Chain A
Amino acid sequence: MPKPLLSARYRLVVRDAQGKIIRIEEAPSKSFILNFLYMWWLTLNLNASDSLSMVTYYGSPYAYSPYQPMGWWTFVNREPYSGEQVGSGTSSPSASSPYLESLILSGTGSGQLSYGPNIVTSPSLSSNPGTMTVTKTFTNNSGGTVTVGEIGLATQVYLPNAASSTNNAALMIHDVLPSVANVPNGGTITVTYTLVVNT
């Protein structure tokens, strides 16, 4: 059976308000999305003019058409939606959708989760396969249970000479959970994506 060039797996851990683990799940990521190829296309091709779909600092969809090659890809913590994102949607993702079905916004309002910083490990490349992990913890201070049905991984893509674009994040992986995860008030959900290159 051939192996993919690049694959990913996720691990999520849900804890209650006392820090007790109430759910652990680990699974292969199912879906790199079309947006991921657009990120490559716009990065590699100096003359590409297609727009790229991203999420802004405020959690809103944003389509950007770079007039310069896209810059570096980064998980640096300039805004909450770089790295892992979580949503409440449960529908199977479509090939061309560049967003989670229903992004859970960062905050303490009803239905919201406070997005923590990305914790990124140094790539492990001394042997095959090579790996890199990104972890984020989301804290529920909303006052009620928050239901997570989908998760994703996004990167910031710094765009030279376009300062307004630096706080946006482009989704590259979108996974719908086999069953929703209920995060109790005061609890947390930690999502880790491990990216794997098979040489």
Chain B
Amino acid sequence: MDRRTSLQWILAAGAAGALAPAVAGARESAQQQGSSGSVRVQGYGSVNYGTMTRPGYGTDPDLAKSFRPGDIWPLTLTPAQRRLAAVLSDLVIPADAHSPSASAAGIVDFLDEWVSAPYPDCQGDRRTVLEGFAWLDAEGRRRFGRDFADLEPPQQIQMCDEICRFTGARGAQGAAESFFARYRDLTAGGFYSSPLGRTDLGYVGNLPRTQFSGPPAALLEKLGLPEELPSVRDAS
């Protein structure tokens, strides 16, 4: 199906925020379907977001194996899209004193795997992300004469700041805001579930231990919390 529209920007319904990792599954989302087509962003040409008809990993995958993006379904972003993905991911999660940037944590491969996956939620995100990329490049060219990835960092930041101020806007601005929010979620989702992200947050678990003795007494004292649970019998 080749869908075209001259509306300024149509977003796949429910593309933003449609994902939860352990959602008590909606039956609709269990119906795998390919997604295909292209959409015309007014004044910016059309975006092909392709057809994803390959199967997923099935209901009985090898859980002991360690998977890399591209192992199960091919990665599909173009080199230019991957370059833009890296620049934008690092604007969302740059290096700081605690951890390296998102792209250094392999987030471009993660995003490529995500938008190349055959599952309906990923296909919704594919459309959101690719349309957002096209909009960023078009907007960069219109305002500064270059694709977004080729802009000077202050120009990129200026554009991101403006997108973040589109709160509740309609039309193209609202779509840009939704795209940026979803892109931040995808980047953060990949980064904070990676070893670098876990360390950054101070997660120190996933280690076998012989006992668990609870929080340090000094911390409880500082927080004014009891060593023992209050008795339920004298609840007021």
A binds B: no
